[in-house]
Amino acid sequence: MKKIIGLIIIMTLVVIMLSTYIKNQVDKSKAIDENAIGYEIDLEEEGLEKGQLAPDFTLKTLSGDTFKLSDLKGKKVVLNFWATWCPPCKIEMPHLQEYYDQYAKQENVEIVGINITYNKDSVKRVQQFVNSYELTFPILLMEEKGVDDLYQILTIPSTFMIDTEGRIQHHIVGPLDQKKLEEYVTNLN
């Protein structure tokens, strides 16, 4: 009987310690600096090469249409991987939308958001997110793993800057603000 009580006490302490640890990790992720800006990744370190053709893919849009990346050849492309549960993604979305509204047409730019749907989100949740941020650029659903592997996505948000020839020029990890977005897009040809 004493062994059982001792085991229950130990299990309770372990649960309390784990709960405290998890709560601290969640609190840290919520305390992301609103002014945080993404940083560029060296493409060669990822196995991707600057100037290589962006891996092509076909995904469904939130509205159910088919979207193929290579159809955007001739446009500058901001390819953004994100999720509804990602705090930095929430920080970044208004900047992406503002840039899209103000500059996309005149700068020949298409912003494409790829929601990593298979990872936690349902289509309904993605639609609620899109509605709450009033997003009007194309939102694609990655309902199965695959495109994230092509682009070697380890962290979100992750954004690829693709030039008019369909070649990757930059990979930025972390949230972009409108100013930084403008700088990257301006330097694309």
Least confidently predicted of 20-24, 26-30, 127-131: 26-30
Peptide bond connecting 157 to the previous residue in cis, omega within 30 degrees of 0: yes
Confidence of residue 149 (pLDDT cuts 50, 70, 90): confident
The better pLDDT of the pair 184, 35 is held by 184
Q: Which of 64, 79, 101, 102 is nearest to 157 (CA)?
A: 79
DSSP strand E in the chain: where? Answer: 39-40, 58-61, 66-68, 76-82, 109-115, 139-141, 158-162, 168-173
Is the pLDDT at 35 greater than 70? The verdict is no
Average of per-residue pLDDT values in the chain:
84
Domain 39-186 has CATH 3.40.30.10: yes
pLDDT over 70 at 19, yes or no: no
Residue 144 has pLDDT above 70, yes or no: yes
- pLDDT one-digit tens code per residue, 122-137: 888 999 999 999 999 9
Where is pLDDT greater, at 28 or 132?
132
- Please say if the pLDDT value at position 46 is more than 60: no
* Active-site residue list: 89
Q: Greater confidence, 68 or 143? A: 68
CA atoms within 13 A on the CB side of 148: 22
